[in-house]
Amino acid sequence: MLLKVENLDKHFGGAVPLHILRDINLELAEREFLALVGPSGAGKTTLLNIISTLDAPTGGRVLIKDVDVHHLGQHALNRFRNRHLGFVFQDDLLLPHLTAMENVALPARISRRPTRQASRRAEELLEQVGLADRLKHRPGELSGGQRQRVNLARALVNEPALLLADEPTARLDQETSRGIVQLLGELNEQLGVTILMVTHERELTDRAGRVVEFLDGRIISDRRTKPVGSASNRKALQPANM
């Protein structure tokens, strides 16, 4: 199992403790696409932040590739994040002075890949997300949907075991949002990328193979909508018209 969340709790102290997460147990296999849905304030992003190691639990543990990530020292944790986790946030957080290819290559450079190898990998990924003609464009020259595609390519540059997406369509219009979720589905189905996506927009979960519903810090339903996909030969994905 790629991800195991065991008896996870998160609360803040005080005269009346505020419980954000209550006894969460969740497993995610390789090549799954899981959508975590629920209203704002349900605890979805808190859970994602704990899985991504950006926040710490009050109790319980998170195992990724059999590693208890919250017991790693800071240096080991930074290395683990860089090598095994990919992040897609609501905002693309691209560096405005770098080109699309330079932004995508950055995590690979941080992990000390040779410059030529990092650039080649970045170019390959931008082609796969439909941006072969935008390699030299800076973020200010791209649409919102195109920037989020660059963001996705950057998250994949180190070939992470798990892609974590927190409301990746929150800043986009409905049509562009559907295009981004379609792209996530293609990444999962064609390249075998394992994805955990948080969203409050239920209509955007149709590409996910599994939907887990959250309410008041608890999982209230967990249903599979399609079999776990298998990776096919790598090929370019749908062109970006967003």
- CATH number for the domain harbouring residue 22: 3.40.50.300
Task: Please check whether residue 233 lies inside any domain of the structure.
Answer: no
Q: Inter-axis angle of helices 100-110 and 115-128, to 10 degrees? A: 130
For 78, 100, 149, 182, 242, the CA distances from 52, given in Å and listed in that order, are 11, 24, 20, 23, 28
- Number of other residues whose CB lies within 10 A of the CB of residue 89: 16
The answer to whether 79 touches 32, Cβ cutoff 8 Å, is: no
What's the pLDDT score for residue 237? 54
Beta carbons of 46 and 56 less than 8 angstroms apart: no
Tokens standing for residue 76: 């080991």
Question: Does 23 reside within a domain?
Answer: yes
Domain that holds residue 206: 3-224
* Distances from the Cα of 226 to the Cα of 139, 180, 189, 208, angstroms: 35, 19, 11, 8
Q: Answer yes or no: are the C-beta atoms of 66 and 49 closer than 8 Å.
A: no
How many domains, in total, are found in the chain?
A: 1
Report the pLDDT value the prediction gives residue 203, as an integer from 0 to 100: 83
**CB atoms near residue 78 (< 10 Å):** 13
pLDDT at 200: 87
pLDDT at 191: 87
Segment 67-124, tens digit of pLDDT: 999 999 999 999 999 999 999 988 888 999 999 999 999 999 998 889 999 999 999 9
pLDDT value of position 233 = 42
Per-residue model confidence (pLDDT) at position 10: 95
Q: DSSP states of the chain as a string?
A: --EEEEEEEEEE-SSS-EEEEEEEEEEE-TT-EEEEE--TTSSHHHHHHHHTTSS--SEEEEEETTEEGGGS-HHHHHHHHHHHEEEE-SS----TTS-HHHHHHHHHHHTT--HHHHHHHHHHHHHHTT-GGGTT--GGGS-HHHHHHHHHHHHHTT--SEEEEESTTTTS-HHHHHHHHHHHHHHHHHH---EEEEES-GGG-TT-SEEEEEETTEEEEEEE-SPPP--------PPP--
Structural domain contains residue 195: yes
Q: How many CB atoms lie within 10 A of CB 159?
A: 13
The tens place of each residue's pLDDT in the chain, 242 residues long, gives: 999 999 999 998 777 778 899 999 999 999 999 999 999 889 999 999 999 999 999 999 999 999 999 999 999 999 999 999 999 988 888 999 999 999 999 999 998 889 999 999 999 999 999 999 999 999 999 999 999 999 999 999 999 999 999 999 888 888 899 999 999 999 999 889 999 999 988 888 988 999 999 999 999 999 998 877 644 444 445 555 55
The residue behind tokens 């991504």 is 52
Is 75 domain-assigned?
yes
Q: Is residue 134 part of a domain?
A: yes
